[in-house]
Amino acid sequence: MYGSVFRMKPAAGKRQELIDLMTAPDDRRPPGMVAAYLLAEDKDDAVWVMAVFEDEQSYRKNAQDPSQDEEYRRWRALLDADPEWHDGTIMQAPA
């Protein structure tokens, strides 16, 4: 599997709006996407997301999709700065 973990810092007063936008039901399911998770930090306003794809090719194809860019621009409008991105191979650890 392949994907991204990214940290977002919402603009003042925009955290809940960002969370609502990112957790709203959406018919768009990118090909190859396995799962997406959101973590809203307790200690500050940071919001972390993990996007998991079957493979790097599916992940990169989604990144080039104009509809993904539109979605990103909606999130970005609610942030103080660009997200902090961490892309890479995702492996399952023993529970």
Provide the pLDDT for residue 29: 86
For the segment 25-32, the average pLDDT, to the nearest whole number, is 86
Please give the pLDDT value at position 4: 97
pLDDT score at 58: 98
Q: What is the pLDDT of residue 28?
A: 78
Res 59: pLDDT: 97
Tens of pLDDT, residues 56-87: 999 999 999 999 999 999 999 999 999 999 99
In this structure, are residues 72 and 66 in contact, taking their beta carbons and an 8 Å threshold? no
- When pLDDT is cut at 50, 70 and 90, the band that residue 95 belongs to is confident
- 36 in Cβ contact with 93 (< 8 Å): no
pTM of structure: 0.89
Which value, in Å, is the radius of gyration of the alpha carbons in the chain?
13
